[in-house]
Structure 1
Amino acid sequence: MSKSFYAKDPDGNEFELMWRVPREDWPAEDADLRPGALDLQAAIERWGADLATGSAAGSAS
């Protein structure tokens, strides 16, 4: 599970910023997974600004 942000730079190049959600914070299987508005401040307060996940934490997947 991941959270992604898609944008274009001033030259029109598209890019994605992706953050892998720690497994212990994945929603239940029956949860509503429709995306909602990004609340970056709430995510930083919940997980911290320096939490390493995915390959940054030594995981290959």
Structure 2
Amino acid sequence: MRALLDRGAAGVVGDLADVSQTRGVAEQVNVLGTMDVVIHNAGVYTGARILPVNVVAPTC
């Protein structure tokens, strides 16, 4: 990721298992401007975080 940031990419940070932080990620992205495409590439496969990360976060 560092190489992308060094070349001008923007990064956003948040815990997608936490709804308020997920909304914070969305706010960070909105500040960057309009997006043509968003790829939600975060996910977990075990534990209690499956629902909030894999199902709820993409809808926020």
Structure 2 length-normalised TM: 0.24
Which structure has more relative contact order (CA 8 Å, sep 6+)? It is 2
Q: Name the structure with the higher helix share.
A: 2
Name whichever structure is richer in strand by fraction.
Answer: 1
